[in-house]
Amino acid sequence: MNSLYNKIKPYLRTILIDHLVNKSLVIIPTYNEKENIERLIHTIFSLPGHLNILIVDDGSPDGTAFLVKGLQTPYADRLFILERAGKLGLGTAYILGFKWAIERQYDFVFEMDADFSHNPADLLVLQQACMNGADLVIGSRYKSGVNVVNWPMGRVLMSYFASVYVRWVTGMKIYDTTSGFKCYRRKVLEAIELDNIRFKGYAFQIEMKFTAWKLGFRIEEIPIIFTDRSEGTSKMSGGIFNEALWGVLRMKIRSILRPYKKAVQV
């Protein structure tokens, strides 16, 4: 808790002031995260400021949604949950969450995993970068070296070279193109045609960044340390990797045939 405090200390004053005027929502998609979800919710709510949380659970058989609903009494009006009947994928879970956030006029909207791979204290670092003027802030594993802890070497190499490949195909100057730890200003989500976002897994993360970049939004990468989950199991599969491999090429070709209308004048 002490190191958490030291990390957020420099941001404390601005965060407390900004939280009086801004509304922030952390969207967390879950599928079988009973080992992590309660501790994560408590940790986020222990941060300074007034972050709200929206869980999008896909009918987790392990009862994740039940645990979340149990916390809605102590955290009334800060903790929300959307439930879908079955495992429909990360991408559509986020799209549902984004629409929910836009309807309720949240100013800052985060994407975050449920498994503590993303350090909750970094939420404040990402938000601060948004407050300093960025439209989309990415928590980046590859901005300064390779900051991944506890992943097998094969998975690190696959993820790193996937990012290199995406940079090469798309031309985006982003090091961590598949990162799922982000903070959006609402206007970015409003400008993206969410119903046209097609992909579900890692490719969803790429497509959101690519679209924001094509629309001319200001994107910033902040180095973070990503630590593999110590509880529960990964839900990512080979199919999701293939979607990214071929999907990026298709996405690039589509963008040439159907150019994006800039939301931002540069």
Ligand X SMILES: Nc1nc2c(ncn2[C@@H]2O[C@H](COP(=O)(O)OP(=O)(O)O)[C@@H](O)[C@H]2O)c(=O)[nH]1
Binding residues (CB under 5 A) for Mg ion: these are 113, 115, 117, 229
Q: What token pair was written down for 244?
A: 């990214």
* Interactions with ligand X, residue window 41-60 (CB under 6 A): 56-58
C-beta of 104: minimal distance to ligand X in Å?
19
* Interactions with ligand X, residue window 108-147 (CB under 6 A): 113-115, 117
Q: Are 237 and 158 in contact (CB under 8 A)?
A: no
The correct pick among 18, 40, 89, 106 for binding ligand X (CB under 6 A) is 89
Cα Dmax for the chain:
52
In the chain, alpha helices (H): 2-8, 12-21, 37-45, 64-71, 90-103, 122-131, 153-170, 186-191, 202-214, 238-257
Binding of ligand X by 30 (CB under 6 A): yes
Q: Are 49 and 183 in contact (CB under 8 A)?
A: no
Q: Are 109 and 186 in contact (CB under 8 A)?
A: yes
The correct pick among 15, 54, 93, 124 for binding ligand X (CB under 6 A) is 93
31: partner contacted, choices Mg ion, ligand X, none (Cβ within 5-8 A by kind):
ligand X
With respect to ligand X, which residue has the nearer C-beta, 132 or 234?
A: 234
SS3 of residue 136 by DSSP: strand
Q: What token pair was written down for 169?
A: 């195909």
C-beta of 52: minimal distance to ligand X in Å?
17
C-beta of 49: minimal distance to ligand X in Å?
22
Pick the piece of the chain touching ligand X (CB under 6 A) from 3-11, 46-54, 107-115, 244-252.
107-115
Backbone angles phi, psi at 65, to 5 degrees: -65, -35
90: partner contacted, choices Mg ion, ligand X, none (Cβ within 5-8 A by kind):
ligand X
With respect to ligand X, which residue has the nearer C-beta, 134 or 174?
A: 174
Q: Are 83 and 61 in contact (CB under 8 A)?
A: no
Residue type, 88: L
Binding of ligand X by 170 (CB under 6 A): no
The correct pick among 48, 235, 252, 255 for binding ligand X (CB under 6 A) is 235
Pick the piece of the chain touching ligand X (CB under 6 A) from 83-91, 101-109, 120-128, 245-253.
83-91
DSSP 3: H
Q: What token pair was written down for 85?
A: 């009947």
Backbone angles phi, psi at 24, to 5 degrees: -125, 140
The correct pick among 46, 144, 150, 234 for binding ligand X (CB under 6 A) is 234
Summarize as ranges the residues that interact with ligand X (CB under 6 A). 29-31, 33, 56-58, 87-90, 93, 113-115, 117, 229, 234-236
